[in-house]
Structure 1
Amino acid sequence: MFEQTFRNIDNVLWKEAGCATELDYTEQTSWMLFLKYLDDLEFERSQEAELRGQDYEFIIDAAHRWSRWAAPRNADGSFDHDNALTGDDLIQYVSFDLFPYLHGFKERAASSDTIEYKIGEIFGEIRNKFASGYSLRDALELIDELSFGSQAEKHELSHLYETKIKNMGNAGRNGGEYYTPRPLIRAMIQIVDPVIGERIYDAAAGSAGFLCEAHDYMRYGTDGQGDGKGLSTADLQTLQTRTFYAKEKKSLPYVIGIMNMILHGVETPNIVRTNSLTENLNDIQEKDRYDVILANPPFGGKERKEIQQNFPIKTGETAFLFLQHFIKYLRAGGRAAVVIKNTFLSNSDNASKALRKELLENCNLHTVLDCPGGTFLGAGVKTVVLFFDKGEPTRNVWYYQLDPGRSLGKTNPLNDNDLKDFVARQANFEDSDNSWTVSIGDVEQESFDLSVKNPNKAEEEPLRDPEVIINEIETLDKESEAILEGIRGML
């Protein structure tokens, strides 16, 4: 129903000089969608209050409501073109009146877990990139055609928004780091199987894909097609306010993540704009821990020494710091599924070996899913998914080598059927041509090498990835430098 409207919005953005990439398209669509959603939500709440004979206190004041500046109406309900701002007047109003007013909510909000605070944060992070007030007027009128009135409409909008995020990821460059293929996320969630009452956490949330899919799984069932009517009012309230928690460092995915969760039915997402790695792990208390962790942390980044001081195992590799963060934040008995570069399983540097030892001794790493090349579009690295439980050591690791039987790419991406065999066999750690079990007693106790080596397939030793070799050289250089600094300090 709304698909053509989304296409028309993209056409407007494509012609706009201030919007050059898919990231810009998604960002600008997001702030307009958010304000339209907020206006529909406030109207719905005011109607409900009126039926109860109560007054409703609007969040947005009358002068800044969507229905006043974006879509003014005549008495008969028709669009009031005479009073609708456009051209330079519209740009001036949005950039220098509306955005500052909305950003001010961050200071005026009673607490950080309110929708007022989220409004303030969002409009402190993004800016209007429209240069033409006429293009902005066209986009606003298209957004106004969308409706958040029914659950079916919200469901369709959430799918369309997910498509935008996927397109942003497929565009490559920075967009790819915000998008994890949804079939992979859904398989991870089925294995971890979160239930209402548990708290779920992602410290590198990106577009909040893990939390959105977990919400749909818990509310609508395994296939996401249920109606959610079996849940009590208390269950729904728990899902809304005390289930999903996230942190995100960058402004664009932070805004997109909030909008994505809203479209999936979480009205006030518990997403905090912060760099999770700045937290000292020694400060984590039991009350801070979570039952379930689902994440695809950024890999390949290099963190500064002051960041590394927050972690017992010092390393510049961002993903390895996040893995330590997740282990610490998981409560005893908690479950995690984390995407990481497959080189983590075999890197020979001291930090990698120490981290594998930590994982095996303090968690039950029961499953390793080996993902094929092309799983992450635009990312030229191979990945694995680590499934582990906190609180008991690893005894056996069950490996599954995912083989869709075709090359993956933009026109032929990973789908849910590709992962059905993995999910089915994982339930009983069933061996097959693509799955096998390794006893921890057979793992070399010096290196703790956990490389994926399928005993059912005779394969030639593949050439090492140049990126892996370069990373190891850099790591060894840094370790040598640290040793030399220590020697100098003793002289």
Structure 2
Amino acid sequence: MITGEVRNRVDKIWETFWTGGITNPLTVIEQFTYLLFIKGLDEAETTKEQEAEFLGIEHEGVFPKDKQHLRWNQFKQLGSAEEMYDVVSNEVFPFIKNLHGKEESAYSKYMGDATFLIPTPNMLAKVVDGIDNLPTEDRDAQGDLYEYLLSKIATSGTNGQFRTPRHIIKMIVELMKPTPEDIIIDPAMGSAGFLVAASEYLRDHHSDMFLVQGLKEHYQNTMFYGNDMDRTMLRIGAMNMMLHGVDNPNIYYRDSLAEINKDKEQYTLVLANPPFKGSLDYESVSNDLLKIAKTKKTELLFLSLFIRILKPGGRAAVIVPDGVLFGASKAHKTIRKEIIENHKLDAVISMPSGVFKPYAGVKTAILIFTKTGAGGTENVWFYDMKADGFSLDDKRSPIDENDIPDIVERFNYLEGEKERKQTEQSFFVSMQELQENDYDLSINKYKEIEYEEIKYEAPGVLLEKVEMIEKEVIQGIKDLKDLIKDSDTFES
């Protein structure tokens, strides 16, 4: 998370938008993102030019020779705000809108109806100057900027969406360890946080995949998929993916739960934080999903969707509200039974309720399961996360307590968890025990509390101590009275 000076700079830029008449938070983020993207394009181009020069090879850049004046480092130095405004609005913006000429590319689809809304040259000059002083060359810093911008949306979206903190996304990706062969989807992608984190994980842990043409092509064109119903977030997501080196993600404007979504057994990894509540057109919900659990609850329908769209052997790591774990309705029990009995439930990680503040105080958990179609659940690993490295209030300030490294380490070595007792922070629960408890997945159902025996002193000894304290109090009152009496005598 960004703090201090950088946060203040972002706030100042935000204030420039606000005072200039752009007050819708998503519109501000969108316009802000366009300019961050333009700056990022220039920085990436500069890096590639330097690498090409070092290697002594030719570099065919994004900016043609006759378009060099459209680069950030060029137009920011123009003599007047009016001149800069003319170049950015009439040349730079159309240039980035048509950057990927192929109509079928995600970038082209969602940039097609993008609109440059900064109203005046003076406002553009202030915003460009502010963004120029932000640290954007480092990918992590850029991700922190995105996260802070998204945190400016004070309330959850109309579909019950709220933004998943980057450190939680990173933890989930590290737990799942995406491989170069995976086909990854987030059916409620928002700004593409999970997809970006998965792409970064692969770059950091499987850099050799880019030396294999087939895997490199897969990474760029057929590995990443995302759906959303908010075109603004789709645009932000498409730019986010492109800035992180994925040129052609498969991003669609789509209601993942609707009948129109025909995806079935297509993906090997689902990473998602689907909406928990909000509007749902029940009539349009796919009949395939209702066969597993007839319900209007989106969190249950999405679990049905994940099972349908995964290939056999495919894995899912998804965030669900706590109600999914222990809900007593027929639909709740049915979906839990489906995952436990017919597939392989691997883990339930209970998270504290403050993780999603300031958006919401809802308590959530992470479900990790594998689609088998033939069962396989024997023992399910439970972890009781108490801290995530940030305070659990609206401020979400950094703190020392953090269970995330421990969660990743333990999950990567589950063999060592077998001897743990249910009084500890993590433990296994058997399939039989889950069945006996109606497939309840609440950690408190299984966590045992260890009571320590406290030995008190004999009543006679305690009474003597009370009498001694009482004598001391009486003596203290007497001393205080004498002090007051002596003071009155002295004044007389």
TM-score (norm 1): 0.73
For 2:161 and 2:316, the matched residues in 1 are separated by: 20
Structure 2 residue 381 is the aligned partner of structure 1 residue 380 = no
Once the two structures are TM-superposed, the CA of residue 420 in structure 1 deviates from its matched residue by: 2.2
Q: Secondary structure at the match of 2:313?
A: strand
For 2:140 and 2:15, the matched residues in 1 are separated by: 23
Q: Provide Cα deviations, 1:188-235, integer angstroms capped at 9, x if missing partner.
A: 2222221112111111111222122222222214xxxxxx76554225
Once the two structures are TM-superposed, the CA of residue 323 in structure 1 deviates from its matched residue by: 1.3
Q: Which amino acid aligns with 1:376?
A: F
For 1:61 and 1:83, the matched residues in 2 are separated by: 24
Q: Provide Cα deviations, 1:414-441, integer angstroms capped at 9, x if missing partner.
A: 8894222222333314435122322222
Q: Which amino acid aligns with 2:406?
A: D
- Counterpart among 193, 205, 224 of residue 244 in structure 1: 224
- Which residue of 2 is the match for residue 217 of structure 1? 201
Q: Which amino acid aligns with 2:83?
A: L
Structure 2 residue 263 is the aligned partner of structure 1 residue 284 = yes
- Which residue of 2 is the match for residue 366 of structure 1? 346
Alignment of 1:268-279 (within 5 A): 268-279=248-259
For 1:349 and 1:190, the matched residues in 2 are separated by: 33
- Counterpart among 152, 172, 175 of residue 191 in structure 1: 175
- Which residue of 1 is the match for residue 16 of structure 2? 15
TM-score (norm 2): 0.73
For 2:279 and 2:130, the matched residues in 1 are separated by: 42
Percent of aligned positions with the same letter in both sequences? 29
Q: 1:66 and 1:84, CA in 2 relative to 1: closer, same or farther beyond 3 A? A: farther
Q: Provide Cα deviations, 1:381-414, integer angstroms capped at 9, x if missing partner.
A: 1111101011041232221111239961223368
Once the two structures are TM-superposed, the CA of residue 184 in structure 1 deviates from its matched residue by: 2.2
For 2:235 and 2:300, the matched residues in 1 are separated by: 26
Once the two structures are TM-superposed, the CA of residue 185 in structure 1 deviates from its matched residue by: 2.1
- Which residue of 2 is the match for residue 26 of structure 1? 29
Once the two structures are TM-superposed, the CA of residue 29 in structure 1 deviates from its matched residue by: 1.2
Q: Secondary structure at the match of 1:421?
A: helix
Alignment of 1:443-462 (within 5 A): 443-444=434-435, 447-452=438-443, 453-457=445-449
Q: Which amino acid aligns with 2:77?
A: F
Kept in 1: contact 2:222–2:249 (CA 8 A): no
Q: Secondary structure at the match of 1:174?
A: coil
Q: 1:19 and 1:370, CA in 2 relative to 1: closer, same or farther beyond 3 A? A: same
- Which residue of 2 is the match for residue 140 of structure 1? 128
Q: 1:136 and 1:209, CA in 2 relative to 1: closer, same or farther beyond 3 A? A: same
Q: Which amino acid aligns with 1:199?
A: I
Structure with the bigger RCO (C-alpha within 8 Å, sep 6+) is 1
Q: Provide Cα deviations, 1:272-312, integer angstroms capped at 9, x if missing partner.
A: 2322222456x4344xx111111111111241222224422
Alignment of 1:83-482 (within 5 A): 84-85=82-83, 94=89, 109-113=101-105, 118-124=107-113, 126-143=114-131, 153-155=137-139, 157-165=141-149, 167-168=151-152, 171-174=154-157, 177-221=161-205, 230-234=208-212, 235-279=215-259, 283-286=262-265, 289-310=266-287, 311=289, 312=291, 313-377=293-357, 378-391=359-372, 392-393=374-375, 394-404=377-387, 408-409=392-393, 410-412=395-397, 417-426=402-411, 427-428=413-414, 429-430=417-418, 431-432=420-421, 433-444=424-435, 447-452=438-443, 453-457=445-449
Once the two structures are TM-superposed, the CA of residue 19 in structure 1 deviates from its matched residue by: 2.8
Q: Provide Cα deviations, 1:97-136, integer angstroms capped at 9, x if missing partner.
A: 8767866789xx43423xxx51451241x43343333101
For 1:371 and 1:147, the matched residues in 2 are separated by: 31
Unpaired runs of 5+ residues, structure 2, are: 452-492
Q: Secondary structure at the match of 1:301?
A: coil
Kept in 1: contact 2:102–2:108 (CA 8 A): no
For 1:28 and 1:12, the matched residues in 2 are separated by: 11
Q: CA RMSD in A?
A: 4.0
Kept in 2: contact 1:30–1:256 (CA 8 A): yes
For 2:280 and 2:49, the matched residues in 1 are separated by: 48
Q: 1:271 and 1:344, CA in 2 relative to 1: closer, same or farther beyond 3 A? A: same
Q: Secondary structure at the match of 1:277?
A: coil
For 2:259 and 2:46, the matched residues in 1 are separated by: 40
Q: Which amino acid aligns with 1:248?
A: D
Once the two structures are TM-superposed, the CA of residue 344 in structure 1 deviates from its matched residue by: 0.7
Kept in 1: contact 2:271–2:316 (CA 8 A): yes
Q: Secondary structure at the match of 1:85?
A: helix
Kept in 1: contact 2:387–2:401 (CA 8 A): no
Q: 1:233 and 1:67, CA in 2 relative to 1: closer, same or farther beyond 3 A? A: same
Larger-gyration structure (1/2):
2
Kept in 1: contact 2:270–2:310 (CA 8 A): yes
Q: Secondary structure at the match of 1:443?
A: helix
Q: 1:206 and 1:243, CA in 2 relative to 1: closer, same or farther beyond 3 A? A: same
Q: Which amino acid aligns with 2:275?
A: P
Q: Secondary structure at the match of 1:168?
A: coil
For 2:6 and 2:120, the matched residues in 1 are separated by: 20
- Which residue of 1 is the match for residue 467 of structure 2? none
Q: Which amino acid aligns with 2:119?
A: A
Q: Which amino acid aligns with 1:284?
A: D
Q: Between Structure 1 and Structure 2, how many residues are aligned?
A: 428
Q: 1:18 and 1:178, CA in 2 relative to 1: closer, same or farther beyond 3 A? A: farther
Q: 1:39 and 1:423, CA in 2 relative to 1: closer, same or farther beyond 3 A? A: closer
Kept in 1: contact 2:81–2:122 (CA 8 A): no
Q: Secondary structure at the match of 1:298?
A: coil
Kept in 2: contact 1:370–1:400 (CA 8 A): yes
Once the two structures are TM-superposed, the CA of residue 10 in structure 1 deviates from its matched residue by: 4.3
Kept in 1: contact 2:259–2:286 (CA 8 A): no
Kept in 2: contact 1:204–1:296 (CA 8 A): yes
